Structure 1
Amino acid sequence: MSKIEMTKKHLITCSVILVLVIISRLNIYSTDPVYVHKTIANVPSNYIFNKHAEEAEATYNFANEALPVNDKKVDFKLKKSIAKHRYKTVQSNVLHAKADKMFPIIEPILKFYGIPEDFKYVPLVESGLCEGTSPKGARGVWQFMPGTARTYGLKVGKGKDERLNLRKSTIAACKYIKELYGEFNSWTLAAAAYNNGSVKLERAMNRQNEDNYFRMTLNRETGSYVYKLIAMKEIINKPAKYGYKNFYSYMQKPMPFLMAYNN
């Protein structure tokens, strides 16, 4: 090896050593995150984690069955449904008021029957901003038809209509939903069948040879039904994000033991 080559090799070696010394002095390899965060002016120490949390919010699901949001058609339908339920469109806090009134009664019943909690949004979608009887004869927050209501134990007729009893109609709805899940083995399809009927949904599945709700072509109402449920879940859980203000939700009330502790 020539003298020049030896000199070059020596210089490269020295340069590498110098870089390693500088890196060590700057503590870049330190496992303590404080040094990294101190170099960023006016940025909270949990900034990176907050960014990850915001990105995670983009993951939507119904009863823990995820939406294929990478599908442009699905993404469009979901965003459209959420936009329809923003405060700018609804111009009322009635949905949150209904949730405050109904959820404390509905939630424990759903839990008792083993129904996912996301089904508590069905009454908000079914009854919407209005009350009363549909043109087809469905009534109550769960919008039972008279025949279906009787099938699942509700008394309808002779001056009595238990479809209007929130507790009893929720029990009937749980029995119906559980039966639908047993038939379709999917909570998403069970929700779709609740809206359209199991017979019609099964026919559509056989005709299209498809068992994924989000890949199926259904009538307008049923095809948007689960998207409405997810949109309702979004605006109820994150009201401020969608423009809802000046509301007081039971979900945000301090628990009694916390009130006692704070006093």
Structure 2
Amino acid sequence: MIKKHLVACSVMLIVTLSARIAASIHTPKKVAIPQQRTAIPNAESFQNDLESSLNFANEDIPVGDAKIDYRMTKILNAHRYSNLQTMVLHRKAAKWFPVIEPILEMYGIPNDFKYIPLVESGLRSGTSPKGASGYWQFMPGTARIFGLKVNKQTDERQDIHKSTVAACKYLRSMFNDLKSWTLVAAAYNLGDVKLKKQINRQNQDNYFKLRLNPETGTYVYKLICMKMIIEHPARYGYVERPALLASVQKRFDGNYTDPLTAPNLADKLRILYN
């Protein structure tokens, strides 16, 4: 009787174990899938992942300095596609750079200065509350000094060709005095007289070592970051218009590209124009 009971129990145990084993084979396990996150680079990854030597207008930027790396990283992150969610900067660059670049070259201004109107106005013809207007955001007085008509009937600050010529004359005049393109860029934002006062007061002519107001103190960084996201769009999440990587740097057929034929330009760049 006891033997029969033990046999019955053994059979039940075997059946139970077999059922559990079968269930474990056919029932899929829940696997934790790690969430993909966009890494925000710190100063160290910035130095490792990006170019070891950045420059503006062929003047090297001292990458490796903790303060400089922090500012560059912060501004770059702010201009990533994940934050801006728009390709408007790349579209504007594609539309207007072929017009601006030959004029800069004609006046001996470094090509990197084409990023000033992109930072100043987003390459749009508007007027700021302070009175600066046009693609290059000229104040009325400065515009007149460098040959632009500004009156009730005419405002040539809104003309991309004429305002770029005036900007070149202005930039060249400041370089003749300051002898540094990074200082020229800073002076474009602050004003050359105010910048020279700071240079003399601090006895320092290195932009990256000058103590300036927050806007001017980050201005050249913004220009460099704008250069990086336009020239390396995929690196900063701008992957929807891949042809902008190099095409925006080229002159088509060696001549000016008429910005009024923007749909044709867009076709050459293989981007969506709207």
For this structure pair, what is the TM-score category when the shorter chain's length is used for normalisation?
0.7 to 0.9
Is 1:197 the counterpart of 2:178? The answer is no
8 Å CA contact 1:137, 1:146 repeated in 2: yes
Which of the residues 58, 74, 82 maps onto 1:80?
74
How high is the sequence identity, in percent, across the aligned residues? 58
Mapping for residues 1-263 of structure 1, pairs under 5 Å: 57-128=51-122, 132-247=126-241, 248-249=243-244, 251-252=246-247
Structure 1 segments of 4+ aligned residues over 4 angstroms from their partners: 253-257
- The amino acid that maps onto 1:185 is K
Task: In structure 1, list runs of 5 or more residues that go unmatched.
Answer: 1-53, 258-263
Query: Given the superposition, is the C-alpha separation of residues 56 and 231 from structure 1 closer, same or farther in structure 2, using an over 3 Å criterion?
Result: closer
Structure 1: distance between partners of 2:143 and 2:104: 17
Give 1:129 shift: 7.8
8 Å CA contact 2:125, 2:158 repeated in 1: no
Structure 2: distance between partners of 1:252 and 1:93: 15
Structure 2: distance between partners of 1:141 and 1:105: 12
SS at match of 2:218: helix
Query: Could you tell which deviates more after superposition, 125-134 or 75-84?
Result: 125-134
Structure 1: distance between partners of 2:234 and 2:52: 16
- The amino acid that maps onto 1:195 is N
Instruction: Spell out, residue by residue over 1:148-186, the C-alpha distance to the aligned partner (whole angstroms, 9 max, x if none).
Output: 111101111132111010000000000000001011000
Query: Given the superposition, is the C-alpha separation of residues 130 and 173 from structure 1 closer, same or farther in structure 2, using an over 3 Å criterion?
Result: closer
8 Å CA contact 1:106, 1:170 repeated in 2: yes
Give 1:246 shift: 1.9
Give 1:256 shift: 6.7
Query: Given the superposition, is the C-alpha separation of residues 201 and 225 from structure 1 closer, same or farther in structure 2, using an over 3 Å criterion?
Result: same
Which one has the largest radius of gyration? Answer: 2
Structure 2: distance between partners of 1:250 and 1:235: 9
Structure 1: distance between partners of 2:150 and 2:134: 11
SS at match of 2:133: coil
Structure 1: distance between partners of 2:76 and 2:59: 18
Query: Given the superposition, is the C-alpha separation of residues 237 and 75 from structure 1 closer, same or farther in structure 2, using an over 3 Å criterion?
Result: same
Give 1:84 shift: 1.4
SS at match of 1:228: helix
Structure 2: distance between partners of 1:161 and 1:251: 34
- The amino acid that maps onto 1:135 is P
- The amino acid that maps onto 1:204 is Q
- The amino acid that maps onto 1:252 is S
RMSD: 2.1
Structure 2: distance between partners of 1:256 and 1:99: 18
Structure 2: distance between partners of 1:130 and 1:92: 15
SS at match of 1:217: coil
TM-score normalized by the length of structure 1: 0.73
Task: In structure 2, list runs of 5 or more residues that go unmatched.
Answer: 1-47, 255-274
The count of corresponding residues between Structure 1 and Structure 2 is 204
Instruction: Spell out, residue by residue over 1:114-167, the C-alpha distance to the aligned partner (whole angstroms, 9 max, x if none).
Output: 000000000100013865211110001100001111110111113211101000
